[in-house]
Structure 1
Amino acid sequence: MSEAGQTEATPGPLSGTLLLVDDEANILAALRRLLRRDGYTLITAASGEEGLQQLDAHPVDVILSDQRMPGMSGVEFLREARARRPETVRLVLSGYTELQSITDAINEGAIFKFLTKPWDDEQLRANIAEAVQYKRLADDNRRLSVQLGDANRRLEHLLAEQQAQIVRDRRAMGVLHEVLQLLPWPLLGVDDFGMVVAANGAAAELLGVSGTTLGSDLGRALPPALAARLAGMGEGELSAGIGGATYRITCRVLGADSQASGRLFIFEREVGQ
């Protein structure tokens, strides 16, 4: 097999796939000898056109390309490589500066770094390692961005569901409130601390409980004698005179079948009263 168009991998401390593009076989051979010790997967190509073919055929992290090549210059190749695989990190290695075209390519993001021939082995290895690390960080950032976007979408969906549930609960409470108002029996709700929290229209008419009374202590909302009897009342019934009539008062302790807590008093006028 020729020097170009080869793929090889050698175990080592680093990982990543490099695409090396140069029309000189001896340069590709020298780069492979230098970089294989670092554990990269190495893919080579002898021209920009072949480099694009390799890029389409393999996942690539870093591209190192010569600048002066027949048919397609390194900058032209890397511009096309960026269009096809924008996530790759791209470097130019050349003995010719051609500063304007290379500067333009760097400014537009087609090139990550420009390296010159002849190269210093350790400096070149360090630059490649930097490019691989940069690619890793960019990949991590992309993954985190995707995960964050997914988490935000799930959170937005959850918040929308919760908001919809709140609206449904409010509507249900509104219906329940209207139902309680239509019931003919006086109903009085008291929380665990003895505070009046609910009263329907019949209770308001019988006991004088109004909207301003809600939130008041039972002893302040009702006549003292009646309040004293109801304050210590548990599950059960008692009779009491109210407004010249006798009422059977049934107490229901809430919470057995729901998350509600407190007591509900139901007033029923005794038959014959």
Structure 2
Amino acid sequence: MSSTATHQPTLLLVDDEQNILSALRRLLRSEGYRIFTANSGAEGIEILKTETVDVVISDQRMPGMAGVDFLRAAREIQPDCVRIVLSGYTELQAVTSAINDGAIYKFLCKPWDDAHLKANIAEAFERRHMADENRRLTEELKRKNDQLEALLAERSDQVQIRSEALSVFHEVLDALPVGVIGIDAEGLIAFCNDTAMTQLSGYPIGLGQRADAALPADLLGSATETVIDNTPLSITRAPLGQHSTSRGHLLALLSAGTFQVREGD
């Protein structure tokens, strides 16, 4: 089906009487519609196969194909076009059935009132516009949801990787023969490895506790050595935040003889 960058509201008129089509064209020529006409349902179907149509108006009694049957076929070709019957014959059963199964949107009678017909056609175009806008918004929402799901999946993967890396880090930290204690910017104990817990087994160390209440005073001052439970410990301090957003400092406690240099090394 043909399309343009700026779509012009398009109307298809189907009637086996040429004078009716001519009268409708004259009535609607000033409304700004792009108008196609067909003298039968078969001709209308061929137009629908090649052109995007917003509103279809069809007579009911036509040779070869009744209006409601044509409009059912139109629904199969272009489901979103708004379909109207304009007829001098009511044939209530056929029309009511078509309305009930969604084949037609509205039934209008001949002869028509010009203002009433124009208003109903304008309403049909507004209905089509709203349907198109709802579809556009739905597609946009789906696209945004797909992007969000992809972003969440990516973030989830990143969190998983970081979680695994953190688990490895804690395993390595606990395996070190050096006691390591992390103290945050507020003076609270942020972490403490197994070696430090062993070295300071006599002190009530716990995560979230104030360091000045749980640790020996020597560790919080400037001393480079201390003795705890008759074990000499070397103390080193390093600030946090040089390569991360963490704030505070690390204490490293090294027992004498932990790393011994063998003769000949």
Mark yes or no: TM-score above 0.5: yes
Which residue of structure 2 lines up, in the alignment, with residue 258 of structure 1? 244
**1:186 and 2:179 correspond:** yes
- Which residue of structure 1 aligns with residue 25 of structure 2? 32
The amino acid that maps onto 2:23 is A
* 1:56 partner SS: helix
**Aligned residue identity for 1:226:** D
Match of 1:100 in 2: 93
Gaps of 5+ in 1: 1-13
How big is the shift at 1:238?
2.2
CA contact (8 A) 1:188 1:203 kept: yes
Bigger drift between 70-79 and 146-155 goes to: 146-155
Distance 1:107 1:211 in 2: 79
Offset of residue 170 of structure 1: 1.3
Contact 2:40/2:63 (CA < 8 Å) preserved in 1?
Answer: yes
What's the offset of the Cα at 1:241?
Answer: 2.6
Identity of aligned residues (%): 48
Correspondences of 1:38-57 after superposition (within 5 Å) = 38-57=31-50
Q: How does 1:200-211 map to 2 (within 5 A)?
A: 200-208=193-201
Instruction: Give secondary structure in 1 for the equivalent of 2:224.
Output: strand
- 1:19-61 CA distance string (max 9 Å, x none): 0000100000000000111000000000000000011111100
Q: SS at the partner of 1:215?
A: coil
Give the structure-1-normalised TM-score.
0.87
In the alignment, is the contact (CA less than 8 A) between 1:203 and 1:209 conserved in 2?
no
Q: Which moved more, 1:213-222 or 1:96-105?
A: 213-222
Change (3 A) 1:256 1:228: closer
Q: Larger deviation: 243-252 or 130-139?
A: 243-252
What does residue 64 of structure 1 align with?
A: 57
Unaligned runs of 5+ in 2: 1-6, 259-265
Q: 1:226 and 2:218 equivalent?
A: yes
Structure 2-normalised TM-score?
0.90
Q: Closer, same or farther in 2 for the Cα pair 1:97/1:191, shift >3 Å?
A: same
Does residue 116 of the first structure (1) align with residue 116 of the second (2)?
A: no
Deviation, 1:15, is 4.6
| 1:244 equivalent in structure 2 | 230
CA distance 1:140–1:243, change in 2 (3 Å): same
Alignment RMSD:
1.9
